[in-house]
Amino acid sequence: MTAPVYWNHNTAYHPWLVRLAAEQRGDVLDVGCGDGLLARRLAPVSRSVTGLDPDAAVLRRARERLAGLETVDVMHADFLSFDPAGRRFDLVTFVASLHHMPLRPALERARELVSSQGRIAVVGLSANRTVRDWLWSAMCLPAVRVASLWHHERRDVGVHTSDPRESLDEIRDVAGDVLPGACIRRALYYRYLLLWSAQPELDITT
């Protein structure tokens, strides 16, 4: 039985990540890979894809989805204790997974694992703390509802969820220390996008 392909507020940004991977054509580390949908989409444009997830049950679904893809491997592992055996990655992705970890240690670990020409890309969630945060969420609501209806949003895909702790301002502050020059912007679907390059001179676009 073929694993279902679905749309939700996270998969809406898969095309952005696939485009970044296609620019690198290298080795990708997908942190919090879940049921493997992103890893499957990254595989055709990457030399290799390694997916990590601490949930053994969801990884079983990922392995079913990814069966037959020789360049994709998924591992039952916690990101902060993950041993890459000396490997470095050309793209490290987080899709709704960064807020499940301590922010600063996770970004520091990601930076350690990126190759000399690599990138870190985050599709993240932030907590609404300021009037500006709440106003942005309210402004997004009509477009979010239309898109969710149009794409037949599937909200529950059987993965663990949690609420974000840090506001976008707090995330910007920490990223500014750990990933100088990171580009962070608000996005639809109550998400933010972060992109950082190990080579600041590279053109970083979102």
pLDDT value, residue 1? 52
The domain locations on the chain are 11-128+154-197
Residue with tokens 């990540």: 17
pLDDT value, residue 202? 55
Nearest to 60 by CA among 50, 72, 46, 75: 75
* Helical pair 103-113 and 168-178, crossing angle rounded to 10 deg: 40
pLDDT value, residue 167? 97
Q: Which residues of the chain have pLDDT under 50?
A: 204, 206
Residue with tokens 């055996």: 85
Contact 169, 130 (CB under 8 A): yes
Hey, how many other C-beta atoms are within 10 angstroms of the C-beta on 7?
15
Hey, how many other C-beta atoms are within 10 angstroms of the C-beta on 24?
18
Task: Strands of the chain (E only): list them.
Answer: 27-31, 48-53, 72-76, 89-95, 114-124, 183-187, 191-197
To the nearest whole percent, how much of the chain has pLDDT over 70? Answer: 96
Residue range 11-128+154-197, CATH number: 3.40.50.150
pLDDT value, residue 156? 77
Hey, how many other C-beta atoms are within 10 angstroms of the C-beta on 100?
18
CA–CA distance, 141 with 188 (Å, rounded to integer): 9
CA–CA distance, 154 with 170 (Å, rounded to integer): 30
User: Distances in Å between the alpha carbon of 204 and those of 9, 180, 200?
Assistant: 23, 13, 8
Contact 82, 110 (CB under 8 A): no
For residue 200, with 0-12 CB atoms within 10 Å meaning exposed, 13-18 middle and 19 or more buried, which class applies? Answer: exposed
The helices-and-strands tally (H runs, E runs) of the chain is 6, 7
